[in-house]
């Protein structure tokens, strides 16, 4: 005799699908995560935003005792960028083999000096930090984005 109070398997699947859609979790989350390198990239990986003050960052970059990377994409860079920054887009860092231009910039960095890097809002730097650290750099992700750096005296390149 079948218990009338037990939900059917089909009902259970429908409820599960509804809950996952409300939580905005793909049903095939695990396989999707394995196929998507960006989604699989850990954020922060124990590398928080630097505690160095913006005035300290600015002084080190100006004295060339630290590097400043802009990890935004080319279109963002073209809309305005800091004069002292070099463009190393996050999308290039995530590739197994970055472009020759990006590789030349990375090869030119001193691994004994801090590498500060910024994006628009301070989130992408946390994705880039473990990638750059794996390459052997002294990573210092900035919480301040492009606009905040500009407002704090970092010179913007003339178009």
- List, in sequence order, the alpha helices (H) in 63-117: 74-78, 90-93, 100-107
pLDDT exceeds 50 at position 25: no
Cβ atoms of 68 and 84 closer than 8 Å:
yes
For the segment 101-131, what is each residue's pLDDT rounded down to a tens digit? 999 999 999 999 999 999 999 999 999 999 9
Average pLDDT over the chain, rounded to whole? Answer: 84
Q: Which has the higher per-residue pLDDT, 13 or 129? A: 129
Rounded average pLDDT over 76-89: 97
Q: State residue 46's pLDDT score.
A: 78
Q: State residue 80's pLDDT score.
A: 95
Q: Where in the chain is the domain with CATH 3.40.250.10?
A: 54-151
Which structure tokens are listed for 158? 């003339």
Q: State residue 6's pLDDT score.
A: 59
CATH of domain 54-151: 3.40.250.10
Rounded average pLDDT over 135-148: 97
Which single residue is written with the structure tokens 């100006």? 62
End-to-end C-alpha distance for the chain, whole angstroms = 79
Q: State residue 111's pLDDT score.
A: 96
pTM score: 0.72
Q: State residue 158's pLDDT score.
A: 83
Task: Report percent pLDDT > 70 for the chain.
Answer: 72
Which structure tokens are listed for 46? 């124990």
């Amino acid at each position: 005799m079948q218990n009338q109070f037990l939900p059917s398997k089909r009902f259970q699947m429908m409820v599960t699908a509804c809950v996952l859609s409300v939580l905005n979790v793909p049903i095939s989350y695990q396989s999707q995560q394995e196929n998507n390198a960006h989604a699989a990239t850990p954020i922060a990986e124990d590398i928080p935003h630097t505690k160095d003050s913006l005035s300290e960052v600015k002084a080190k970059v100006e004295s060339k005792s630290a590097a400043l990377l802009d990890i935004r994409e080319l279109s963002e860079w073209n809309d305005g960028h800091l004069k002292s920054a070099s463009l190393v887009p996050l999308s290039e860092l995530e590739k197994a083999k970055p472009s020759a231009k990006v590789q030349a910039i990375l090869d030119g960095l001193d691994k004994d000096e801090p590498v500060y890097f910024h994006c628009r809002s301070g989130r992408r730097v946390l994705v880039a930090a473990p990638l750059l650290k794996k390459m052997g750099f002294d990573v210092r992700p900035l919480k301040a984005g492009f606009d905040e750096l500009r407002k704090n005296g970092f010179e913007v390149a003339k178009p």
